[in-house]
Chain A
Amino acid sequence: MATYAKHRSTRLLVVSLMLASLVTITVDSRGGRAGPLAALGRAGAAIIGPMQEGVSAVFRPVGSFFSNVFRAGALAQENTALREQIGLLQRQIQENLTLRRELEELRRLLDIAEIHDIEGVGATVIGEDTSNFEWAVTIDKGSEDGVVVDMPVLAGEGLVGRVVEVSSGQSKVLLIIDPDSAVAAKLSASGERGVLGGQREELLQFELVDPATEVRPGELVETSGYQLESGQEGVYPPGIPIGEVAQVEPDEAELTLRVLVRPHVDFSRLSTVIIVTGTTSLIPEATPPPPGG
């Protein structure tokens, strides 16, 4: 009898609790977000919020650890995808840098061609001379493009050299740093003339016609150009920048000056050049032709 009463009271209790729940559900559904129970819920959330923050602060590392453990597969996939994306972006950055460098070179080339009123053919350096005794590069333009021997070659920064061999699709350019190269040059400020000779990787040597000339480091050096009375012209058009005076020192006998010139062009990074096919003006002066120039 007592057990029956106990069961009955339990059922009554459960039914009461279920009814209370159902009333809560109904009131909440009807009231919506503006109802009294919603306000009570917000108050409850406000009470438990600080406690949740405290618990979160304590257990966050643990939760993150388990979360990461459970997400290990997804994280590995995400990691792989991100690595691929990084690789792709790095390649794009590299390509952009290359394109930007090429663009800058082309702009400089265009500038130098415009300033000096040069007609030319653009070319790309496709190879360097493998010989230990010659400083030259191979470019991708040849006789099919109108290139002939002795045409000057420029980069955006200044003079590069001259064409010494031509085939149908490519040409060989002797650089001004080659010991066999000699360029008729002048100091741009004073106009003093001389011959610029290559010394391989070292600075160019400038042999002035007048050894008593006063030269200061930092002075700019450019091609002088010349035209003989017989009509013979130098290889290089005048006014093309070559470099700047880096060192000035008396020679061993202290009779003349030893002038060393640092070229503007970085020959180790040469990639785009212009082959001069025609110019408008040469200085009409009768100057003895320097060897090679």
Chain B
Amino acid sequence: MRRTLAWAAIVVTALLLQSTIFAQIKLGGAQPELMYLVTIVLAMLEGPASGAVGGFSAGMAQDFLLNDPKGITALTLTLLGYVVGTVRQYITTPSPTLPTLLVAAATAAGIIFYGFVSFLLGRLPGGFLFLLRVAFLSALYNALLTPLLYPMIRRVAELSRTKKIFRW
């Protein structure tokens, strides 16, 4: 329960920051995607099931609270959380750059998937070249934010983890 509340707090905080401070930081027509970043980090730390549930919740929160087209972000982040959580299980490298690389790649893939679904629904503005540019730039910005945010999110998540008590 504590973990759920902690992740909910992280998602809401990310949502508020995304819609306020990060909405102002637009370079080259793109901005960081904090909800993607949070979902990817959650999936890396908690696994595919939590990643999928967290992604779905974060996506729905973004779609409904920010009044975006409903369901597209939820679908994207559900898949993203599940795939990242699954892939993370098979990567054993202790490289400290892994979170950054994974966040960058997953953000780009997620945005392209979001754009593809939007295209199918006739809601993709700007065309595919624009989509690729936004995907690349947002991935870059998320990658730059990861070294700062990943340790913070991990710390909050670990603090909320239920401690096992061993009795001898």
Interface majority SS (helix, strand, loop, mixed), chain A: helix
Determine which of A9, A22, A29, A55 lies in contact with B20 in the assembled complex, contact meaning CB atoms within 8 Å. Answer: A55
Residue in chain A with minimal CB distance to B28 = A70
- A17 and B24 in contact, given A25-B70, A45-B66, A51-B16 (Cβ under 8 angstroms): no
List 18 interface pairs A-B (beta carbons < 8 Å), by A numbering.
Answer: A14-B48, A20-B56, A21-B59, A21-B74, A23-B71, A24-B60, A27-B70, A28-B69, A47-B65, A48-B15, A48-B66, A52-B19, A55-B16, A55-B21, A59-B17, A63-B21, A63-B24, A66-B21
Q: Is B148 an interface residue (CB 8 A)?
A: no
- Give how many A-B residue pairs fall within 8 Å (CB-CB): 109
Interface residues of B in 1-58 (CB under 8 A from A): 15-17, 19-27, 48-49, 52-53, 56
Among B75-83, B127-135, B158-166, which stretch is in contact with chain A?
Answer: B75-83
A242 to chain B, nearest CB (A): 69
What is the size, in residues, of chain B's interface with A at 8 Å between Cβ atoms? 36
CA distance A67 to B20 in the complex (A): 12
A32 to chain B, nearest CB (A): 11
> Which chain A residues border B20 with CB–CB below 8 Å?
52, 55-56, 59-60, 63
Beyond the given pairs A13-B52, A24-B60, 6 more chain A to chain B contacts, judged by CB atoms under 8 angstroms and listed by A's residue number, are A10-B52, A13-B53, A18-B79, A66-B24, A67-B26, A70-B25
The answer on a CB contact under 8 Å between B48 and A41 is no
5 pairs of A and B residues whose beta carbons are closest in the complex? A24-B71, A21-B75, A25-B71, A28-B70, A63-B24
CA distance A56 to B23 in the complex (A): 10
Interface residues of B (CB under 8 A from A): 15-17, 19-27, 48-49, 52-53, 56, 59-60, 63-72, 74-75, 78-79, 82, 117, 121
Determine which of B15, B17, B56 lies in contact with A17 in the assembled complex, contact meaning CB atoms within 8 Å. Answer: B56
CA distance A63 to B21 in the complex (A): 5
What is the size, in residues, of chain A's interface with B at 8 Å between Cβ atoms? 38
Determine which of B17, B22, B56 lies in contact with A21 in the assembled complex, contact meaning CB atoms within 8 Å. Answer: B56
Determine which of B19, B52, B64, B71 lies in contact with A22 in the assembled complex, contact meaning CB atoms within 8 Å. Answer: B71
Q: Is A42 an interface residue (CB 8 A)?
A: yes
Most interface-central of A21, A27, A48, A63 (chain B CB within 10 A): A21
Q: Is A34 an interface residue (CB 8 A)?
A: no
> Which chain A residues border B25 with CB–CB below 8 Å?
63, 66-67, 70
CA distance A64 to B78 in the complex (A): 33
CA distance A52 to B20 in the complex (A): 6
The answer on a CB contact under 8 Å between A14 and B52 is yes
CA distance A76 to B69 in the complex (A): 37
> Which chain B residues border A20 with CB–CB below 8 Å?
56, 74
Residue in chain A with minimal CB distance to B74 = A21
- A41 and B67 in contact, given A14-B78, A18-B79 (Cβ under 8 angstroms): yes
A129 to chain B, nearest CB (A): 65
- A48 and B49 in contact, given A21-B74, A25-B121, A70-B25 (Cβ under 8 angstroms): no
The answer on a CB contact under 8 Å between A17 and B53 is yes
